[in-house]
Structure 1
Amino acid sequence: MRNLLKRGQTYYARFIVPQDRWEDAGKATGTESRKFGRTPVRMEVVRTLGTKDHREALRRRDKALEAIRRELDSKLVAAGLAPLHGDWEPPWPSVDQRAVEDGLAYRQDLEKASGEYIARDDPHAPDDGAPDTQRELLADVIRDQVEEAAEAMPPADGARYYRTTMGVIDGTHTPLGGLLDRWGRERDRSITDTSRAADRAAFNHFAEYVCEVMPRAVSATGTGDGSPRANDAPLQALRLMAVQQIEPSVTGGFVEWLLESRGLRVKTAQGRVSPLKVFWQWCIRKHVITGPNPWTGATEGMKKQAQRVSRDGKERREFTEDELVKLLSADPDEGKEPGLRRRWAWGSAISDLMRLALLTGARENELCSLTVGRIINRDQVLAHGSLWGAGQLWGISVTDAEAKTTSSVRRIPLHPLARRIIERRLGETDGSAEALLFPECKPGGAGNKHSYYFAKRFTEFRRRVLGAEESDGATAFHSFRKNFGTYMHRASVAGVPECQLSVVQRLMGHKLETITQSVYTEKDMAWPVYERAIMGMVDKGMPEAVRECL
């Protein structure tokens, strides 16, 4: 009975949000709680069932709870957060998905069938409506098969299956839901969780837009059997619409709607259009619809707009020497008031990760997710005296699981200053290969990245040390990576040959720009070359004041 409430004479469905998602639900819905101060928290969602009868309320409760879950998931994904139930989908196909798959298979069979005339035994027999071609004969057989499959289902599901399958066969009504499921399965095999989260955010925004500009078409998708209409979660309503209903005149106004009605930045709007363009191109490739792709040219001119915004505002840059000295010298455990110390979970992580980022050029999540098994060359003993010999430096590896792109899979030597941090962190683990070096960096966000919560805590630290007005929009944790590239360039100018561009690109995980580099040269250089580049960068490219802080 905890999911059913009675207020007065009316019954309500009560959806309980899991405790570990209270804050996420609060952020997505903009709800504040007196108990938690100004922190947005949503612990439950209550919706009326519109009945005073207890038995009727019980019958309506499950549908209401599912509708609430869909609505909340939609808002979470739109806010860049993971849905309540995660990304898991049932392995068995839905009615819409099965109808789309069956319809496309039948459609391909019909396209292969011959359209030649079938000679009759008695040419003088009257025309009784019998098929004249092999294609017409096959169409009759397929229609019988679809009817038979529909009759084996519950009435509501059967009616929907028949209508959808025949619409797909005719090429007049192919629901987006089944197509999105098929496309999603292919995407899961080729892109990261973060990119899939971007896909969901794009389609959530597009669903809101379609519900605004095509209310009649959205309302017409209701089937009379409890399927979502326009007043339900927009994405659920969009899934019931046919891809053939989305005309170029509709897609043409989406970018303008994102910029003006939703107030998104130009680059963010570009990111919303990209998955839509890829999906429509997939539909064309699968012969669901014919070309051209309505999203081609949708973002034309937006790159120049983004550049103009960057010129007018702050441009992301590396930290200055003074800023680095302040950050590296500051105590993360020191409070806002001078002399006030506070021990918190992120102090040590912030101190260590800043230094590792500056000395390796690795990305934030590549460092936050470091495990014992990703530390390489641990059997090498650092020689006394010269540090320039081969095989003397430890290193870290970036694998497919953490890499942003294929080029990001790489090995990076650890300068002796960075090795001290790694040795201390290794001593705090149980030694297993999967043990995290930074266990305080819990995964979170749409991509379930270990850097998700750390990024927020570092932002607080940066603002306290450098000031929000001076550093917001101009610097971030990624600025350490820019410093790494800058110091490599300075070392190259100062005469360190291993700090040349082709070596730096490999160390930073960038795609090699020329065909000669990417096709006709070795994908990975000898380890001593990387060692000398790292040592030369610190010795010849890094400012002395920064080196002293490290």
Structure 2
Amino acid sequence: MTKRGNVYYVRFIVPKERWHDVGMVTGARNGTRKDITKSLSTKEYREALVRRDAALTVIREETNAALAQHKLPPLHGDWKPSWGSLQQQLTEQALEARKALEEADTYRTPYYENDDPHTGRIVAEAISDQDFGTDVVREELWATAQNIETQSTDKQNGLRQAQAAYEQALGIATGTATPLSVLLDRWLPQLEGHVTQELIDRHHRTLRRFGAYLAEAHGLQTDDPESYARSTPIESIDRKTAGLFREWLERLPNVGPRVVGFHLSTMNTFWKWAQDVGYAEVNPWEGATRGLKKKIAKASRVRGEKRPYTDAELIALLTQARERLKQPKKWPWARVIYDMLRLAPLTGCRQNELASLTVDRVIKPTQPEQLWRISVTEEVSKTRSSTREVPLHPIAQAVIAQRLAELPAEHTQDAPLFPECKPGGRDNKPGHYLSKRYATFLRSVLGENPEIDFHSFRRCFSTFMATAEANGAQHCPELVLEHLIGHKPVSLAHNTYAAKRFDWSVYDNAIMEMVSKGVSEHVRDSMSIVCSI
């Protein structure tokens, strides 16, 4: 509404894409019309509120009639909202009303006995602006909710759905219910910069599936399941809902127990936050993943446990990479992959930790007997425990030395050692395209095998260390392995009381013994072959 002088007017906004059509059929001077303003013929605000919706309806009907005479589609086109969309509309309407009601005056003018305030006896009170606004909100919400009933082919079921949607929206408007959208708009921004974008995307996938479940459970249709979930009050989600959602997820095709666990973990994490900020008394998702570990383990056995590469597989990969080095135009990623095949199993580093290597992360020792090392910094590490320094065996050092030698003379300290690995993906990581190219290379050499991937090089590193210790190595205990691979030690003695870092010589000796006593001679020989393009 707007006010001109002392009289209230209603202003109908024309959709931008229809300015020309409406301007033509209404005879606008410049050929376009952005809005239509009509008088409500009253100076009283409350009366204007009552008349507003009726006036807007008349304007819309008259405009659509004029468009129809010129054989033009109505303002809303042929689109009809689904039930779920109407419930989202109700929630947005209720949230707007909630703001207005919170700002409205709550004072109620008292009526005294015999109209004499000196008696002190109040016989009644006038309604406040907030009371009046609440009555108007009830009428407006019910008018919107009735659209659910009119769209239903089953009138009885439609009336029940409309009543439920109305009561939910009224609770939001009056402050007794809080839609998830209000809380999600606070929680998700807090995650930015602290977790990966991939994890945030996973949270959104969870919300979409949760919204799809809720709509189905309520007998509704929705084109935007995440928005439907966001329109649901947090107070309406109980332990029964959590249990039914898990059962619904487990019935979905191509959704394994690990993915079910991810979704339930998202809900549990969000509800813990909601408890901390005072919007949830209990967490219905606590314990929702019970029993999933056994199902995940069973699914892994059926699919095949992840494992390290065998010696034969490592030699096949190294041999094929060298062959492809001879045709760099046909296999542009062969050089990167060949370097990674020698770095990854001898350092235990993740693909992004290697792909993101820069000049300043290569540490050259001052003592000739010490090994070079690479630093895994906080910006590229997966966890806090992943921040570490890893010595380079001479085979791996040769790879890094060659990369450094090929850099331009005027290079900076932040120059990448693997410029081929351009950042990409949702988190803009250098390992994004390496992951894709290596997966293609792996399939072409060893075929489709879900048991092995790039991460299997870390499994090789762990296996080499354990094998070396079994063969008599003195510097390859489990604690040193955990430091080098970037895992938090499991035992209390190791993660609380033991030193977090040992002397460089401890790790240098571990790496040298790992390769000499844990890596087979055939694999060492294959890794030692130097090729040039």
Kindly indicate whether residue 213 of structure 2 is the aligned counterpart of residue 209 of structure 1.
yes
Q: Which moved more, 1:166-175 or 1:450-459?
A: 166-175
Q: Counterparts of 1:98 and 1:440 in 2: how far apart (Å)?
A: 50
Q: Which moved more, 1:189-198 or 1:367-376?
A: 189-198
Equivalent position of 2:107 in the other structure: none
Equivalent position of 1:393 in the other structure: 371
Q: In the TM superposition, what are the counterparts of 1:59-138 in structure 2 within 5 Å?
A: 125-129=121-125
Q: In the TM superposition, what are the counterparts of 1:401-420 in structure 2 within 5 Å?
A: 401-420=379-398
Equivalent position of 1:421 in the other structure: 399
User: Secondary structure, in 3 states, of the residue corresponding to 2:389?
Assistant: strand
Equivalent position of 1:83 in the other structure: none
Kindly indicate whether residue 261 of structure 2 is the aligned counterpart of residue 265 of structure 1.
no
Kindly indicate whether residue 187 of structure 2 is the aligned counterpart of residue 188 of structure 1.
no
Per-residue CA deviation, residues 215-252 of structure 1 (Å, 9 max, x unaligned), is 44xxxxxxxxxxxxx54322123222222233433322
Q: Counterparts of 2:366 and 2:95 in 1: how far apart (Å)?
A: 60
Per-residue CA deviation, residues 489-524 of structure 1 (Å, 9 max, x unaligned), is 122223322211111101101011122222222222
Kindly indicate whether residue 229 of structure 2 is the aligned counterpart of residue 238 of structure 1.
yes
Per-residue CA deviation, residues 413-468 of structure 1 (Å, 9 max, x unaligned), is 11121112112222344522332222222333333332222222212211221222
Residue type of the alignment partner of 2:462: G
Q: Counterparts of 2:359 and 2:131 in 1: how far apart (Å)?
A: 60
Alpha carbons of structure 1 residues 177 and 127: separation in structure 2 relative to 1, 3 Å: same
Alpha carbons of structure 1 residues 426 and 174: separation in structure 2 relative to 1, 3 Å: same
Kindly indicate whether residue 474 of structure 2 is the aligned counterpart of residue 494 of structure 1.
no
Alpha carbons of structure 1 residues 253 and 443: separation in structure 2 relative to 1, 3 Å: farther
Structure 2 unaligned segments of length 5 or more: list them.
1-15, 19-66, 86-91, 104-116, 136-143, 145-166, 528-533
Q: Counterparts of 2:352 and 2:435 in 1: how far apart (Å)?
A: 9
* Residues 96, 175 of structure 1: 8 Å contact kept: no
Q: Counterparts of 2:381 and 2:133 in 1: how far apart (Å)?
A: 48
Q: Counterparts of 1:397 and 1:308 in 2: how far apart (Å)?
A: 37
Q: Counterparts of 2:458 and 2:168 in 1: how far apart (Å)?
A: 52
* Residues 176, 240 of structure 1: 8 Å contact kept: yes
| 1:544, distance to aligned residue in structure 2 (A) | 0.6
Residue type of the alignment partner of 1:518: N
Residue type of the alignment partner of 2:489: L
Kindly indicate whether residue 427 of structure 2 is the aligned counterpart of residue 437 of structure 1.
no
Kindly indicate whether residue 515 of structure 2 is the aligned counterpart of residue 538 of structure 1.
yes
Q: Counterparts of 2:247 and 2:176 in 1: how far apart (Å)?
A: 29
Equivalent position of 1:353 in the other structure: 340
Q: Counterparts of 1:397 and 1:175 in 2: how far apart (Å)?
A: 46
| 1:341, distance to aligned residue in structure 2 (A) | 7.8
Paired residues in the alignment total 410
Residue type of the alignment partner of 1:343: K
Q: Counterparts of 1:433 and 1:211 in 2: how far apart (Å)?
A: 54
Q: Counterparts of 2:441 and 2:371 in 1: how far apart (Å)?
A: 31
Q: Counterparts of 2:508 and 2:258 in 1: how far apart (Å)?
A: 37
User: Secondary structure, in 3 states, of the residue corresponding to 1:174?
Assistant: coil
TM-score, structure 2 as length reference: 0.67
Alpha carbons of structure 1 residues 284 and 418: separation in structure 2 relative to 1, 3 Å: same
Structure of higher CA gyration radius: 2
Equivalent position of 1:306 in the other structure: 296
Alpha carbons of structure 1 residues 340 and 374: separation in structure 2 relative to 1, 3 Å: closer
Equivalent position of 1:33 in the other structure: none
Q: In the TM superposition, what are the counterparts of 1:465-480 in structure 2 within 5 Å?
A: 465-468=445-448, 472-480=449-457
Equivalent position of 1:74 in the other structure: none
| 1:58, distance to aligned residue in structure 2 (A) | 12
Q: Counterparts of 1:326 and 1:238 in 2: how far apart (Å)?
A: 50
* Residues 97, 178 of structure 1: 8 Å contact kept: no
* Residues 476, 513 of structure 2: 8 Å contact kept: yes
Equivalent position of 2:23 in the other structure: none
Q: Which moved more, 1:296-305 or 1:166-175?
A: 166-175
Within the candidate set 274, 277, 288, 2:268 is matched to 277
* Residues 321, 543 of structure 1: 8 Å contact kept: yes
Structure 1 unaligned segments of length 5 or more: list them.
6-50, 72-94, 107-120, 132-139, 148-155, 157-162, 217-229, 384-388
Equivalent position of 2:429 in the other structure: 449
Q: Counterparts of 1:398 and 1:446 in 2: how far apart (Å)?
A: 21
Equivalent position of 2:356 in the other structure: 369
Alpha carbons of structure 1 residues 214 and 371: separation in structure 2 relative to 1, 3 Å: farther
* Residues 488, 541 of structure 1: 8 Å contact kept: yes
| 1:325, distance to aligned residue in structure 2 (A) | 1.0
Q: Counterparts of 2:130 and 2:492 in 1: how far apart (Å)?
A: 52
Equivalent position of 1:526 in the other structure: 503
Alpha carbons of structure 1 residues 239 and 466: separation in structure 2 relative to 1, 3 Å: same
Per-residue CA deviation, residues 127-161 of structure 1 (Å, 9 max, x unaligned), is 54499xxxxxxxx89999999xxxxxxxx9xxxxx
Q: Counterparts of 2:275 and 2:490 in 1: how far apart (Å)?
A: 31
| 1:333, distance to aligned residue in structure 2 (A) | 6.2
User: Secondary structure, in 3 states, of the residue corresponding to 2:390?
Assistant: strand
User: Secondary structure, in 3 states, of the residue corresponding to 1:498?
Assistant: coil
* Residues 100, 174 of structure 1: 8 Å contact kept: no
Aligned identity (percent) is 34
Equivalent position of 1:173 in the other structure: 177
Residue type of the alignment partner of 1:313: R
Within the candidate set 251, 255, 261, 2:246 is matched to 255
TM-score, structure 1 as length reference: 0.65
* Residues 333, 343 of structure 1: 8 Å contact kept: no
Within the candidate set 516, 519, 531, 2:493 is matched to 516
Residue type of the alignment partner of 2:176: T
Alpha carbons of structure 1 residues 250 and 54: separation in structure 2 relative to 1, 3 Å: farther
Q: Counterparts of 1:422 and 1:58 in 2: how far apart (Å)?
A: 67
| 1:262, distance to aligned residue in structure 2 (A) | 3.8
Equivalent position of 2:201 in the other structure: 197
* Residues 321, 337 of structure 2: 8 Å contact kept: no
